[in-house]
Every structure is written in structure tokens, then in C-alpha cells.
Amino acid sequence: MTDKQAFHIISPFDSERYIGRVYQVGPSRVQVLMPPIKDTGEEKEIARHTTQLANAHVGAYVVVGCGEYAIFGQLQDVQVRNQTSVDLHKAGREIQPVGVIELFTSIHIEKARVVPGVIQSPQIGDLVYSPSPSFVQFVVSGATGDVSREPVMLEFAQLPDERDTPINISPEKFFGRHCAILGATGGGKSWSLARLMEESGRHKSKVILIDATGEYRDLDRHTTHLHFGEDPDKNPSSVEVVLPYYHLTEQDLFAIFRPHGASQGPKLRAAMKSLKLAKVSSSVGIEGLIIKAHKPKKQYERSYKNHQKEIDSPYADFDMGYLTRQIENECVDPQRSSTEPDVWGGINAVDLANCMPLVARIHDILQSPNLAPIFKPRKKKSLLKEMHRFIRDDEKRILRINVQYLSFAYNAREIIANALGRHLFELAQKGAFRKHPLLLVLDEAHQFLNPKLIDDENDFPLEAFSLIAKEGRKYALNIVIATQRPRDIPEDVLSQMGTMIVHRLINDNDRAIVERGCGEVDRTSLQIIPTLAPGEAVLAGVDFPVPLHIRVIPPDCRPHSEGADYQKYWNSKR
């Protein structure tokens, strides 16, 4: 089949879908004069005109015949030309509809190729048609007419009025520049994400899904399930995992322990270094600790130099059980006297007093059951090791990590998610995903994308997802964020989302963020966002020639996102 033959099948110019003629031309808009409707009083005549203009409603897609190009646009407004409300009530009246069309993109007719922008301006008298659903699909998919090999396509949605024509989109268009799924509760955001997961699972994909609420526990196609904590509703095949503290960095631990003031931060950092040294060098440690009060510095400094690589590693490879006692051992004077600079002095009472709140806080944190997956991992499986096993296994396609029962206390969710993201970014920089592109999906992303944990005196940046959004694409690591609160997503992350699937949004601030973050969304699409029905969305992005009003195909495995059943549980007559 040639390109021209392929294009002929989805020709945009169908006389039965004629809408009218261009009668006014502007830089990015044209006005179309539609066939007049004459009220003769005959119901059959009115029905005939109604059918003729059925495809000419506000929001409908249209094509303008323009020489060797078909110009694709959207009907933004429909009015009655030069008539008053009195005229409309006159017997035998003739109504002249006029439409305003926003022009989006061009299609080269001979080459059957979508070309960004309006290549050739329409002329007065050019014919306007309503394109068939298959032609709209052709424009959105960006097909070139080349059918020599079958591409990987995700069958994601349908046009709201044409449910027999699926909208198939390539993974490159969805995820190649990152993707955001936005929508208020009940708008269909979870369906979109579930559908994308199912469609990805049909192909040889690599997807890691962080499930914040346990909604996706029924995903079954090529899905591996992991969970944190006791999960009463877990998938039968799910495995409990932990993220031991020694897989965290010093920065992660600082974000958990929150040192304050001039003394706590330096003493905490010094204690971590000392415990790392005590673990690798028995010559300076006493029962896992390093005592500094009135001790010479030379042996410590010599051992530090010999093991500097291990000690300067960002990861926390030391015995956490000794941390509070080692902080106390760090609270000493820098020298015993002016004549003994190579010997540490005695206990510094001021530093020790300043550090006692930190010591107490660390003690409480280490004993907290909420943080047992970090500080009491026991012999449970490590998340990172399970993730590595998933990445290496060509048969595994989706890894779902359920964090529903991971505590919000001490920012555990943000810190663990950030540690996971950072680890994936490090793997990506080493080329791990060049031949196996990886998609990282964050459901309820506002729970994880706090860019900084801030107190009165310090801030502890969590930058992994910002780095992935900015640089992950060149390492074949892409991110999908799904959230009902776009205003809580850091701007430097949301601004990198090249594709947006926008469900119903009621909040003005959320819609304003969508408008700023996705310049491809036109005025009409923005106006319909608050009125979208459940499951409907506006699909837009830099790789899409037009913003598209779609209805997401329901997933086979429905997410558990339903609310409380008041009729069942509040009914006193049960």
C-alpha cells in the first residue's frame, strides 16, 4: 500500500460532511459561512438542516481545503449572522450560522504527512469539512502512511462522540518528554493511569509504579507487586520490602533527623564519618565507637586517609545503633591545650547541651514503628535489590510498589521515594536503560514531590525527581506524574511535562497552572476542563499537533478509587 493509498482511506474531504465556506481570514483564525437554515414550518425540513450541521458544534474538529494542504482546526464559536432575537421569531425566517475556526496544523495531501503549524493560509471560498474520526486519529497519532512495519501503539482513548474509533498513540508521544495526568477527585485520573499501565504491559515495557493508595493492586498483566508494611489488602503475589538506612545518603538522614543550630549539623556529620571509620578500621574503634576525649588525633587521621574512599561515600554504611553515643563523643574541644594541638580536649559542655535534643530525637526516630522499614529492616527483602532483579528480567514489565502503609511521619514517604528516584537516576547515568527505556510513574505525586523539607533554620533539598524531569530523558529515563493537586507540584517539575492528560479541574489555580505549563492548550479546551464528564480529558502536548478532547477507554482492572458507600453502611434498616 502506498502513502497516497493509505491517505485516501482517511480522506478529510467528504461531501456528506460539508460544513461551509471560508468568508473571512485572520492570522490564526478563519470564519466559515455555514448553509442557511430556513424555517418553513415543516418538521422534516428542520430535521434535514439539523442533521446537516450536526458536526458543526462548538469544540468540533474541522479541516479546511487549502491547495495541497488540509488545514486542521477546531470550531471555537458559532453565531447567527446579522440577525436579532426579533428576527429569529419571524415566520419563514432564514438563519445564517457563522463559525469561528482556530487553526492548528497542516496535513500535506500527497505525502500524507502531518506538518506542524499553518503552512498555507486559507483563502476566501475554501471549503470546510468535518473530518471523519479515523482522520482525527491519523492527525493525532502523527502517522506518515508508512505501513511497512507495525509500530508500538497504546490504545488509550476514543473521541467522546465516536466510540468505535480508538485513539492510538505511540509511547514516544506519551512519555518521550515526560507526562502529567491531572484531575480532581472523580474525574477519571485513576482510570487513565490504569489504562496506560495495562497498555504498556501489552508490550515489552519497563515501568515502575509507585502506588500511593493501593488503588492498583489488581493489575495483573506482567506485573510484579511489592509493598511496605502490613498490607491487609495486598495482591496475593505481593512481597514485603524495606529500604534499609544504609541505602540512604547522608542528605536523606539529615532530612529525617533534622539537625538544628550551629552545633547539631556538624556533630551529626562528624559522628557518621567516625562510625564509618570504626566499621572499616578496628585499630581506632572501641566496641564500634570512636572515643575522642583526650585522645591523640594522629591514628584517627592516618586511618581516615587509608579508608577515605569508603568514608566519603555518600551512603550510610555504619552501625546506626551507635549514632547517638557517637554524637556525644564528638562533643569535645578541638584541642586539649595550646601546647597539645594534636590531642582532642575534654567534653565541651555547651556543644553537648546543644546536641542533646538531637540525640533524643534520633533515639525516638530509631524506635518508631513508623520507620521500621528504614531502621529495623531485619531480614526482609531490600527494595533496591528487588528493583534490580526486575530491571534485569526481560520477562517482567511492570513493577508496582505499594506505599499505602508507609508512614507520613518524619517525611518517610518523600525521603524513600526520593531515594528510589535518585538511585534510578544514577543507574540511568551509567547507561542502564539505553536499550530498555524505563518509565517511572508517581501516583498522587504531590505526596512525594516536596522539593524541600524546611524548618526554621535549615532546608533539606529532595531533588531526585527534579533531576529526572530535567535530565532523565537523555538517559532513557522518563517520568509520569498523576495528581489531583497540580498547584502542589514544584514548577521546575511540572514545566518539564511535555504531555498533559487533563481531566476535570475545578480549582482556578490548578487550571491556571495547566495554562502556563501547556501553551498548546487553546481557549476552548481550557473552558471545557471544568465541565468534563468522568473519564473525559483534554490531551495536549508539544508532540501533539492539536489539543484533543477524548474519552479514556475503561481499564480491564479497575482501580480501587471509589468513596464510602453511605447507602450501605448508614442504612439503619440493613
pLDDT tens-digit map of 170-222: 999 999 999 999 999 888 999 999 999 999 999 999 999 999 999 999 998 88
Higher-confidence position of 407 and 430: 430
Percent of the chain with pLDDT over 70: 88
How confident is the model at residue 111, as a pLDDT? Answer: 83
* DSSP bridge partners of 438: 477
Quickly state the pLDDT bin for 527 (edges 50, 70, 90): confident
Q: Which three cell numbers stand for residue 100?
A: 469561528
**Of the candidates 109, 104, 114, 169, the residue with the CA atom closest to the CA atom of residue 144:** 114
Domain coordinates in residue numbering, the chain: 3-150, 168-243+377-558, 250-372
As a whole number, mean pLDDT of residues 106-135 equals 88
The pLDDT, as a whole number, for residue 236 is 93
Could you tell me which residues come within 8 angstroms of residue 453 by beta carbon, excluding any fewer than 6 positions away? 255, 258, 411, 414, 459, 460, 462
Burial class (CB in 10 A: 0-12, 13-18, 19+), 561: middle
pLDDT of residue 426: 95
Model confidence at 9: pLDDT above 60: no
CA angle 144, 150, 156 (to 5 degrees): 85
Q: Is the pLDDT of residue 557 over 80?
A: yes
Residue-level pLDDT at 1:
38
Mean of pLDDT values over 232-239: 92
pLDDT 10s digits, 449-474:
865 555 545 567 788 999 999 999 99
The pLDDT of 248-271, averaged and rounded, is 91
Average pLDDT over all residues of the chain:
86
Q: What is the CA radius of gyration of the chain?
A: 31
> Quick one: pLDDT at residue 41?
56
Q: What would the mean pLDDT of 282-287 be, rounded to a whole number?
A: 82
Statement: residue 391 has pLDDT above 90: yes
pLDDT of amino acid 147: 45
**Which is more confident, 84 or 550?**
550
Say yes or no to pLDDT of 354 above 90: yes
Q: What is the pLDDT of residue 8?
A: 45
* pLDDT computed for residue 92 by the predictor: 57
Measure the CA–CA gap between 355 and 324, rounded to whole angstroms: 10
The answer to whether the beta carbons of residues 445 and 482 sit under 8 Å apart is yes
Q: What CATH number has the domain spanning 168-243+377-558?
A: 3.40.50.300
More confident site: 149 or 549: 549
Q: Give the CA angle between residues 503, 507, 512 to the nearest 5°.
A: 85
Q: Which amino acid is located at 472 in the chain?
A: G
Lowest-pLDDT range of 34-48, 520-534, 560-574: 34-48
pLDDT at 134 over 90: no
For residue 127, the model assigns a pLDDT of 95
pLDDT reading at 122 higher than 90:
yes
Residue 507 has a CB neighbour count (10 Å cut-off) of 14
Q: What is the pLDDT of residue 144?
A: 43
Which pTM value belongs to this model? 0.85
